[in-house]
Amino acid sequence: MKRAFPILAVLTALLLTYSTYQALVVAPTERTMGDVQRIFYYHVPSAWTAFCLFFVNLIASLTYLLRKSSKADALAVAAAEVGVVFCTIVLITGPIWARPVWGIWWTWDLRLTLTLVLWLIYVSYLVLRRFSDSSQTPKLAAVLAIFGALDVPLVYFSIWFFRTQHPQPVIGNGGSLDPRMLHAFLINLFAFSCFGAMVCWWRYRLELLHREVEEMESLESLRGVTQ
């Protein structure tokens, strides 16, 4: 399993190169928005990857609460951190796309706003993990993840209804996709999903290593005490 990692990493890098080529060169230029629309091939797949990672965090958190598995907790941390990274990219590429096309930096677009709230929830999750000293941090964090998950549908509905009352621009591709655009989009979706999984896996291994080292260090200090 461990030996597969470098090979898969290289494959993922190649896949990303190919998908970026698809996005920048192969996909046709959009009629109304021009080349700026190509941000779409990064923006939406990143959002999809972030949401998947947050979902992984939720499952891992639940597993931790039910089975007390420390590996599940390590995965939860990894998924949350990498998810926040991808989420940050969605929040940056969104406004960069919106500004030249729709003339505004921000709009209460459903997907963008939901991403913002998820970002806030998971940043608070990471802050809790960092600031909490107790050995029960995993449990507290897992509970927070559950609260976050319960919140998501409520956020969705509140934004959705708000938008029906206060019409706002929609950040999106609008209308149907040219098959070559769809092709490029799907390749990027796959590439970013693999990339997200790889980084998460690496972060997970880092977390396991970190815990192993901590354990060994505490054994060391015990040995030092008894000598």
Residues that bind other proteins (CB under 8 A): 20, 24, 34-36, 38-39, 42-43, 46, 65, 82, 85, 88-89, 92-93, 96-97, 99-101, 117, 120-121, 123-124, 127-128, 131-134, 136, 139-140, 143-144, 146-148, 150-151, 154-155, 157-159, 161-162, 165, 195, 199, 202-203, 205-206, 209-210, 212-213, 216-217, 220
DSSP string, 34-70: BGGGGGHHHHHHHHHHHHHHHHHHHHHHHHHHHH--H
Taking the least distance from each CB to other proteins, the nearer of 82 and 110 is 82
Dihedral sign, Cα of residue 18, residue 22, residue 23, residue 25: positive
Q: How far is the CB of 175 from other proteins (least distance, A)?
A: 19
Smallest gap from Cβ 23 to other proteins, in A, equals: 9
Tokens of 184: 């490029």
Handedness of CA 121, 123, 124, 126 (dihedral sign): positive
CB of 51 to other proteins, least distance (A): 16
> What is the Cα–Cα distance from 80 to 58, expressed in whole angstroms?
9
Helical axes 40-67 vs 179-226, angle rounded to 10°: 40
Q: How far is the CB of 92 from other proteins (least distance, A)?
A: 5
Q: Residue 11, SS3?
A: helix
Tell the smallest beta-carbon distance from residue 211 to other proteins (Å).
10
